[in-house]
Amino acid sequence: MHPFHFLADARGIVSGRELAELARRAEQTGYHGLVIPDHLIEQLGPVPAMAWIASATDRLRVAAFVFNNDLRHPAVLAQDLASIDVLSGGRLDIAIGAGWNKPEYDAIGLSFDATPVRQARLIESISVLKGAFGEGPFSFAGEHYTITDLDGYPKPVQRPHPPFLIGGGGRRTLELAAREAQTVGLAPRIQKSARSDPQSITVAGTAEKIEWIRAVAGDRFDDLELNVYPSGVGPSVTDHALAEAREAAAFLAGRTPVDLTPEEVLESPHIFIGSLASLEEKFIRQREQLGINSIMVGEMGPFDTLVERLAGT
């Protein structure tokens, strides 16, 4: 089994001093990384924030969670990311996805293409990123990106490239992650849409996605890390888990065509509701049963003592 790796995220707009203090506290607590969302909302931009976090720490890994591929050309992103890897001494993780939040696209006049188009663009982008990180010039001719004899600089410290985290809820994206990533993010599909799949948030739904990954990854499956994060409802450390699970089930019922029981909510790898002791047991159980070892808990604070106990074990 892979050791537990816990991630926390840093949201909002804070001063450099406050972000540095948060990063140092995350490192001292035992978090594997401090990550920055990538949205056009009230937050710091991920690239400068990641560089700032790296400068304030010695071991903490840095990443976005996750980059929206459609907001940056991959060759430009490659230079930014390789620069952070150099400046941090090789502590960069690259978490990237196809983009999903349509209102952000609408706000800046960016076309929100159909899911297969965004996925195809992500596939090409990963090829461009890895090409830029490689030795010597490379060229790429795709439907969405064209690169001609570009030798990307700087080269990252981590060779052949920094670790990739690619995640999603659909089979095509998860199969891409199985081929190209070092960590696969398991995301449920619980948005209000025709593609909503309420069962994907359950243990059984997660196990099905892992089998898709295993079938494509083949011999490299055992080397992959599997990641989950709070989805649908926020994490809650509480001694009244069943009551809160009933409320969560009622909330989710308004977003999906199929109701989930409170018990299914509490068991879900994507919902963190319970006492610290029960959540510790849950994380250990789902690592044993599903192989999930990478957990993004959200903001620091509520889970810190659990992280101190489990991180790296």
Band of residue 190 on the pLDDT scale cut at 50, 70, 90: low
pLDDT 10s digits, 192-217: 444 556 577 899 999 999 999 999 99
pLDDT 10s digits, 279-309: 999 999 999 999 999 999 999 999 999 999 9
Torsion 21-15-92-168 (CA) sign: positive
Amino acid 193: pLDDT: 47
In 3D space, the residue among 4, 13, 12, 71 whose CA is nearest the CA of residue 33 turns out to be 4
Residue 126 token pair? 């990963």
DSSP secondary structure, 151-183, as one string: --SSPPSSSS-PPEEEEESSHHHHHHHHHH-SE
pLDDT 10s digits, 232-253: 789 999 999 999 999 988 888 7
CA separation (Å) from 141 to 116, 147, 148, 211?
A: 19, 6, 8, 32
Residue 87 has pLDDT above 80, yes or no: yes
Q: What angle do CA 155, 159, 161 make, to 5 degrees?
A: 70
Residue 256 has pLDDT above 60, yes or no: no
Q: Among residues of the chain, what percentage have pLDDT more than 90? A: 86
pTM for the full predicted model: 0.93
pLDDT 10s digits, 109-143: 999 999 999 999 999 999 999 999 999 999 999 99
pLDDT (average), residues 65-89 = 97
Residue 13 token pair? 């707009």
pLDDT (average), residues 163-170 = 91
Amino acid 262: pLDDT: 92
Residue 154 has pLDDT above 80, yes or no: yes
How many of the other CB atoms lie within 10 Å of CB of 132? 26
Domains and CATH numbers, the chain: 5-126+164-310 (3.20.20.30)
